Amino acid sequence: MPILSRRTAADRMERTSPDAALVPLLDEFPMGRRNTDSAGRTLGRNFPGARSGLFETCANPSCDSGWLHLWRSRSTPIFEGGWNCSPECTAIRMHAAVRREMDGRGSSQESYRHRIPLGLVMLEQGWISSSQLRKALDAQKAAGSGRLGHWLIRQQGISEQLVTKALGLQWSCPVLPLGFHDAEALAPAMPRLFVDAFGALPLRLAASQLLYLGFEDRLDAVLALAVERMTGLRVESGLVQGSLFRPAHTRMLKTSFPPVELVEAVSEPAVVHVLARAIERVRPVESRLVRVHDCLWLRMWRRRQHGPLPATENVEDLICSIGA
Ligand SMILES: [Zn+2]
């Protein structure tokens, strides 16, 4: 009698619980396997994998595991917001993502858009004379190195602020102040390699949704777009005066960044293999793939993110070079 009444109470609870609607699905499972414990009680959402199996379906549209995935004891990995029921489904979804990224997004055409030469901008504004421009150009030619701005400052005594202002006009972007720079807090915005290779400096976060990204003398719109897609933050790029930029950039490179794995893959299938394998190893609660110039950047969140940027120790990056 007590056992019977307990069973009845359990059954009643189940049917009134929000999950009650799912119970008939289990009863109709094609293999006839019941989701019960040794005492014959229905386990509902507490069996391994229940959360993923019952409440999510595999994000691979061509997944053929059917109801089998209910029995797979994995709630991760999640890739681009969708759960993958098996390594095979991870690989198929990764292949589609790699294809998407290779088909143009993140390519570098934007970087080479024609711009008015810096000397002309400055001449037009009346900030330098034609003789100053000629002498600086001659010095640049003779030295065979250095940007024109550098020679205008060094040889013609033009102020650095004015050259930066002209670069801002040339790139149609703001000149950003450096102010207080919290390198450590901004390090999770992108891998150290990008800060180094693309001369970028995450400057600050505003209102938890806007990331200011600084550059010394040329913007990198491809990188800015990639960071925007990866972080979900709006990215505003601008120039920072060189003498302020360089020490801050050096300091930033010394701070600790999320762990990163660098991989060179020889073919597209190899790229897919490497990326899918990483996801299966880390089993992230979220992961995303974006292209940055000739690299694919995979970020994997090991724990849920609280706040506008993840904690350094909670994400792992993989950068895969995709060759020429
Ligand atoms: Zn699947």
Residue 128 domain-assigned (yes or no): yes
Residue 218 domain-assigned?
yes
- pLDDT given for residue 10 in this prediction: 36
pLDDT digits (tens, 9 = 90+) for 85-94: 899 999 999 9
Q: What is the mean pLDDT of residues 8-34?
A: 34
Cα 168–chain centre separation = 27
Arithmetic mean of pLDDT over the chain: 81
Q: Point out the domain boundary residue: 208, 223, 254.
A: 254
Does a structural domain hold residue 165?
yes
Centre of ligand 1 to C-alpha 284, Å, is 16
> Do 229 and 243 fall within a single domain?
yes
Ligand 1 geometric centre to CA of 85 (Å): 4
Please tell me the distance between residue 228's alpha carbon and the centre of ligand 1 in angstroms.
Answer: 29
Give percent of the chain above pLDDT 90.
Answer: 65
Please tell me whether residues 135 and 178 are part of one structural domain. no
**Which residues make beta-bridge pairs with 13?**
none
Would you state the pLDDT for residue 57? Answer: 84
Residues 164 and 210 in one domain: no
CATH code of the domain covering residue 227: 3.30.300.160
Q: Is position 3 within any domain? A: no
Centre of ligand 1 to C-alpha 36, Å, is 24
Number of domains comprising the chain = 2
**Exposure class string for 90-100: b at 16+ Cβ within 10 A, else e:** bbbbbbebbee
- Rounded to the nearest angstrom, the distance between the alpha carbon of 15 and the centre of ligand 1 is 29
Q: Compute the distance from residue 73 Cα to the ligand 1 centre, in Å.
A: 13
Q: Are residues 166 and 217 in the same domain?
A: no
- pLDDT at position 295, please? 93
Can you tell me the mean pLDDT for 191-213?
A: 95
Distance 70 CA to ligand 1 centre (A): 10
Q: What gap in Å lies between CA 267 and CA 323, rounded to an integer?
A: 9
Res. 81: pLDDT tops 60: yes
Same domain (yes/no): 126, 194: no
Binning pLDDT at 50, 70 and 90, where does residue 41 land?
A: very low
According to the model, what pLDDT value does residue 72 have? 63
> How many Å lie between the centroid of ligand 1 and the Cα of residue 91?
10
- CA of 26 from ligand 1 middle (Å) equals 19
The one-letter amino acid at 279: I
Hey, CA dihedral for 90, 78, 184, 208, is it positive or negative? positive
Cα of 69 from ligand 1 centre, angstroms: 7
Q: Looking at 24-33, 120-129, 153-162, 239-248, which range is the least confident one?
A: 24-33
The answer on 156 and 131 residing in a single domain is yes
| Residue where one domain finishes, among candidates 154, 170, 186 | 170
Report if residue 5 sits inside a domain. Answer: no
- The predicted pLDDT at position 27 comes to 31
**Cα 298 to middle of ligand 1, angstroms:** 20
Same domain, 133 and 163: yes
Q: What average pLDDT score do residues 206-213 get?
A: 92
- What separation in Å is there between the alpha carbon of 279 and the centre of ligand 1? 14
Instruction: List pLDDT tens digits, range 99-152.
Output: 999 987 555 555 556 788 999 999 999 999 999 999 999 999 999 888 899 999
45-74: pLDDT as tens digits: 332 233 444 446 889 998 887 666 566 667
Residue 8 has pLDDT above 50, yes or no: no
- Rounded to two decimals, what is the model's pTM? 0.77
How far, in Å, is the centroid of ligand 1 from the Cα of 92? 9
In this structure, the strands spanning 200-206 and 210-215 are: antiparallel
Under a CB-based contact definition with an 8 Å cutoff, are residues 230 and 193 in contact? no
Does residue 182 sit in the same domain as residue 250?
Answer: yes
Q: Which amino acid is at 296?
A: L
User: To the nearest whole percent, how much of the chain has pLDDT over 70?
Assistant: 77
Interval between CA 75 and ligand 1 midpoint (Å):
12
Range of the domain at 163: 116-170
Measured between alpha carbons, how far is 321 from 324 in angstroms, rounded to an integer?
9
CA–centroid distance, 72 to ligand 1, in Å, is 10
Q: Are residues 190 and 128 in the same domain?
A: no
Q: Using a CB cutoff of 8 Å and minimum separation of 24, what contacts does 243-247 make? A: 243/160, 244/178, 245/178, 245/201, 245/214, 245/215, 245/216, 246/216
Q: Does the structure show a pLDDT above 50 at 35?
A: no
**88 within some domain:** no
Q: Supply 264's token pair.
A: 């060179």
Say what the pLDDT of residue 21 is: 34
**Per-residue pLDDT reduced to its tens digit, 156-176:** 999 999 999 999 999 999 999
Q: Are residues 218 and 156 in the same domain?
A: no
